[in-house]
Chains A and B, each alone.
Chain A
């Protein structure tokens, strides 16, 4: 199989890589670029563990070809914290104990970030609806929803 050369932007860094034509963006991130934060849960777009933000929209990186990243802007969990300073969502997930095994957490955080980027003041229903494509088998969803609502409130306070 012919390799596809790709130039893209990941977490504000210009990145170039070669990948197989049928290789998913998730496999590129994990196996070629060493970005292991996005997880493979189902590989079929049902669980959201591989969620990344591409050109401002949350997507399942298992359902994107690596080749499709050409010219795009990708954000992954590795770019969420500002140096050693955790993102408010990350802090609130810890504070509310909104994680146990952690496999779903990067996907939840990226999806929650995409939500708050689009809607800084979501209702509980909007949070639950938005995050319905992210599955957690440990915590139940209450702590996650509360962490997102709390982070949203804190971030709104900072903006004001």
Chain B
């Protein structure tokens, strides 16, 4: 295995594009280094992106927040402006692992690891986040939900890597929330997760919504039916019932020891209801 620590994005994409064998980008390493210890995992080149200053920076732009691909999740929780604007995204990111893991793990890595149960992904999708992808041909911007295509698989091509996650400016009267179910109180992988972002009109009715579900399919589910179920409502009981029903219908979970299909399809509706209520409350406060 070769280890490289380039100083520019162009060097990263050239290294990745020219790599012979399996190449991986190293940001926090909390997934990659675990996989490297497994006997059936081969890696020929590791490209550490942390020598590029912008990878470890959060910047506030006219369009929103730009979060460098190597910014640890703990740092998101320490950024007051980000916490105020997108508490759901930050809470989801801060659910990942222990204090030790938080000091290293990143939302870009969480996305690229492409676990269906990734906590930060439904929250990012609900927020309408995008990934800026660098490649030898230049940069492009892609919606977060287009990155994972199945368990452990992404749409990134050889030579491409995510250099930043872009979270839009929060519009007025908007709020977000992410909730997950785990069998213990902390430090576990989501059995079901639900992220909701709402924008209210001046009368407190829901003007637009995004509902994203985790761990109930091979990749994150962005459900337009679920969003439609609550748009125009003030989250009256009937709207919440319709939301829960739409979420259950949009889910195609697996059956395993951590949760049955029936359980996951039920719980996804319960969590979506609760996340919607929390997002609604937050939207009303700003």
Who on chain B is nearest to A52 by CB?
B100
Chain B residues near A1 (CB, 8 Å)? 1
B residues 231-260 in Cβ contact with A at 8 Å: none
**Contacting pair A111 B99 (CB below 8 A):** yes
Partner of B29, one of A64, A111, A129: A64
Judge if B187 is at the interface, Cβ distance under 8 Å: yes
Interface residue from B2, B50, B187 paired with A133 (Cβ < 8 Å): B187
A22 with B36: CB separation less than 8 A: yes
Give Cα A113 to B149, complex, Å.
Answer: 41
CA distance A24 to B32 in the complex (A): 12
Is A67 part of the contact surface with B, judged by Cβ < 8 Å? yes
Residues of B within 8 A of A87 (CB): none
Please report the C-alpha to C-alpha distance between residue A45 and residue B34 in the assembled complex, in whole angstroms. Answer: 8
Label chain A's interface by main secondary structure.
mixed
Asked if B159 is an interface residue, CB under 8 A from chain A, the answer is: no
Quick check: A59 and B186 within 8 Å, CB to CB? no
Which of A2, A64, A68, A133 is B98 in contact with, Cβ under 8 Å? Answer: A133
A21 located at the interface, meaning its Cβ lies under 8 Å from any Cβ of chain B in the complex: yes
Name the one of B48, B99, B187 contacting A68, with C-beta atoms under 8 angstroms: B48
Q: Which of A24, A63, A115, A129 is the most central at the interface, judged by chain B CB atoms within 10 Å of its CB?
A: A63
Q: Chain A contacts of B36 at CB under 8 A?
A: 22
In the bound complex, residues from chain A placing their C-beta under 8 Å from that of B99 are 58, 111, 114-115, 130-133
Contact with A along B152-168 (1 / 0, CB 8 A): 00000000000000000
In A27-78, the 8 Å CB interface with B consists of: 43-45, 48, 51, 54, 57-60, 62-65, 67-68, 70
Q: A-side interface residues toward B, CB under 8 Å?
A: 1-2, 4, 20-22, 24, 43-45, 48, 51, 54, 57-60, 62-65, 67-68, 70, 111, 114-115, 129-134
